[in-house]
Amino acid sequence: MTKLQFNENGKPIIPEQQNDSYDEELESGEYKDIPKQDRRVIISKTDPTIRDICERLEKKKMIANPDFQRSYVWDDKPIIKSRLIESVLLDVPIPVIYTSETTDGKEEVIDGQQRVITFHGFKTNKFVLKGLTILSELNGKKYEELPENLQDKFLNTGITIIKILPQSQKDIKFEVFVRLNRGSVKLSEQELRNCIYRGDFNKLLKELRENKNFLNLQGLEKPNTRMVDAERILRFFAFCDSSERNYKSPLKKFLNDYMEKKKNISDLEMEEKKKLFKKCVELCQQVFGDISFRRYYIYEDEEGKTDKKINEGLMDIQLYGFKEYEKREIVGKEQVIRDAFIDLITADKQMIESIEKGTYGTPQVKLRTEKWLNRLREIIGYPKNDRRLYTSDEKNILFEKSNGICQICKNKIYSLDDAHVDHKERFSKGGKTILENGQIVHRYCNLRKG
């Protein structure tokens, strides 16, 4: 069935011919690790009547406006609402409605919210018909004022619903949600996550969006309407719990996997996360102030300038960098830390490239995080409960011990600056930061290793 859309005058919009090109998101190969037999969405297709749909809404078996959806926007568009009803009465094909079945058996509308709410609103006499051009004799009438035969026709009209079932592979299911929302006002990825990964952790993200200091650092008076701020908080927790060492692009899958894992967290973990987020936000405000989350530029013979736009990569490392430190360890070192940050993002070419190109590629995330953590450790020292990076002396010892040979590719490392110390037993798996567990490798090899 062709999916019709209507303009403000209630006339069908004929879509432009689409070419066969795919955007970057679909060419990224992010689903290549999913077995071919799982690369599908499991659906059921039904044709319930409008009467059935309205009854499901009233019994709360169908949720027309879940919190990931936008609010009803046709309230101030009486002609569009009326001409949708007119289309039903004229047997004009109505676009397919897409729903997603939740684990408790309910249906959440993911595409078709405005139509579903309009059907129910008319059936319950919430508005009168207005601006009809074909059935003009019905203008000014509510549902209860229609002739009985038209009431029956309206309620008995079947509407095709395609329901995405819970057993669908989660990443493919998410991609379907993205594609269903490729219209002119599509949902953001974080808005979509609210549909698939609902639970206590999702509620926590929405609660933390209200943090006054966080709003202030973003230059917002109230939470972002597209949930951009919720995704920023999600990234913070994902990096804190998984660490940049376990990060593997694409970012979308990294966040989806983490949010699924944390969907229903304990009350204790909720409180711990609230405290951690509050501390890191306050330290960013205390240390970085007006350059929080933003690029800083230095021009010859001119004053430095702070970019007004938030740089997501810098936001990540500023917040995440304070994870293991207490406020008392930062007091008195604010200016030194701020200066080190400005120096890093204005003078280090690799750092600059990591926040300009492919920001969330695996090597870029690891490189900028490591560089900033190294600077913090030079100023503050290693966190008492987490020494994850090798010192310069240890690096020199391992370099000499290996005769400058990369232990991954077995080729010569010509400069100590091009070398990393890699944990033989992964730090994330409990490997200790000691000489016996370290090996010298090319910086490039280590970043590519993941």
| Residue 24 predicted with pLDDT over 90 | no
- Over residues 379-399, the mean pLDDT reads 77
Q: Edge-to-edge strands of the sheet including 161-164? A: 43-46, 161-164, 97-101, 107-111, 62-63
pLDDT band at 186 (very low <50, low <70, confident <90, very high): low
* 189-193, 347-351, 405-409, 428-432: range with lowest mean pLDDT: 428-432
Identify the CATH assignment for 390-450 out of 3.40.50.11720, 1.10.357.10, 3.20.20.150, 1.10.30.50: 1.10.30.50
Which position has the higher pLDDT, 441 or 387?
441
Q: CB of 218 within 8 A of CB of 293?
A: yes
Q: Using DSSP, how many helices (H) and how many strands (E) does the chain show?
A: 18, 11
* The model's pTM: 0.61
| Residue 61 predicted with pLDDT over 60 | yes
Q: What is the pLDDT of residue 293?
A: 96
Q: Of 359, 368, 371, 369, whose CA–CA distance to 250 is shortest?
A: 359
CA 249/CA 247 separation, integer angstroms: 7
Is 193 strand, coil or helix?
A: helix
- Residue 19's contacts (CB-CB under 8 Å, 6 or more residues apart) are none
Domain residues of the chain, as ranges? 5-15+26-187, 190-385, 390-450
- Alpha helix segments (H runs only) across 135-183: 148-156, 170-180
